Amino acid sequence: MTHKPTIAVLGTGIMGQPMASNLSAAGFDVCAWNRSDHRYPALRSAGIRIMPTPVEAARECDVVIVMLSNGPVCKEILFGDQGAAYAMPPGALLIVMSSIARHEAEEMAELSQAQGLKWLDAPVSGGEKGATEGNLSIMVGGTAENFEQAASILAPMGRAIHVGPAGTGALAKLVNQLTVATTLAAVAEAMTLAEAGGADPAKVREAMLGGFASSRILEQHGQRMLERNFTPGGPAKYQLKDTRAACQVAQDLGLELPLLALTDQLFADLVANGGGDLDHSAILLEIQRRNHLEED
């Protein structure tokens, strides 16, 4: 692309809206589609054109970015009846930034190639804060040529790393989510143990932030746990989706990952007990429930 590419963003929720806004702020011509319209005023304020359907959004764009809730939804919007991918011009670049399974990424990459499209699976980490600030971690699977072409497009949204062929971006996100989920559970247990033992959990967290146990999760989500602020940045039900997908990949590869299996069960129980729409830091509530420490 010798000209500045036009970009369609399909899915402008918690993550997609600020990502689209950052692209517009970087000077790209951006249009957007979303299932619901409550995000549209903010998008219009950012100079983003609103399209009535995914097909119309994709039809005349050089690049289509997808930030929908899961793999099946992505596949339906892109390759179902009236799929947006069929409306994309030959040679256009399709970047699926949703968290999807590796096999879903590989399948959609093949479907894209059959349509004469270029493909990248480029899931992100960093939550709503990272999306808003434009400093997401972006894990990219696909050809080196496609990655190079997309570099200037991904840059306003965060730091992109090419990790391998199609499907490996999705795999890298699962590796990331495995690490996030198990660390969330560890921080929740640490806060619970500190408080039950008579220490001030806020001061324990403060002390830990100065040592080897320091992490962004302890810093950001540890504070959420202290405040009992579980307004979702990353809902627990989506964390469960990712741990389930990681468990399936581990099983396919013949791996035993006991921490992943236990953490997956913790999130499954949290969701089963009504916490699916809470932030994933609400895993604290499941740890407390198991220890009969629920607040009235």
Tell me the C-alpha distance between 47 and 58, whole Å.
Answer: 18
Any catalytic annotation for residue 129?
no
Nearest to 63 by CA among 16, 10, 22: 10
Give the alpha-carbon dihedral of 142, 145, 159, 173, to 10 degrees. Answer: 0
Tell me the C-alpha distance between 167 and 104, whole Å.
Answer: 8
Catalytic hit among 173, 203, 237, 241 = 173
Cα–Cα–Cα angle for 240, 283, 213, nearest 5°? 105
Tell me the C-alpha distance between 45 and 61, whole Å.
Answer: 21
Whole-Å CA distances, 174 to 91, 162, 218, 269, 294: 29, 15, 20, 20, 31
Known catalytic residues are 173
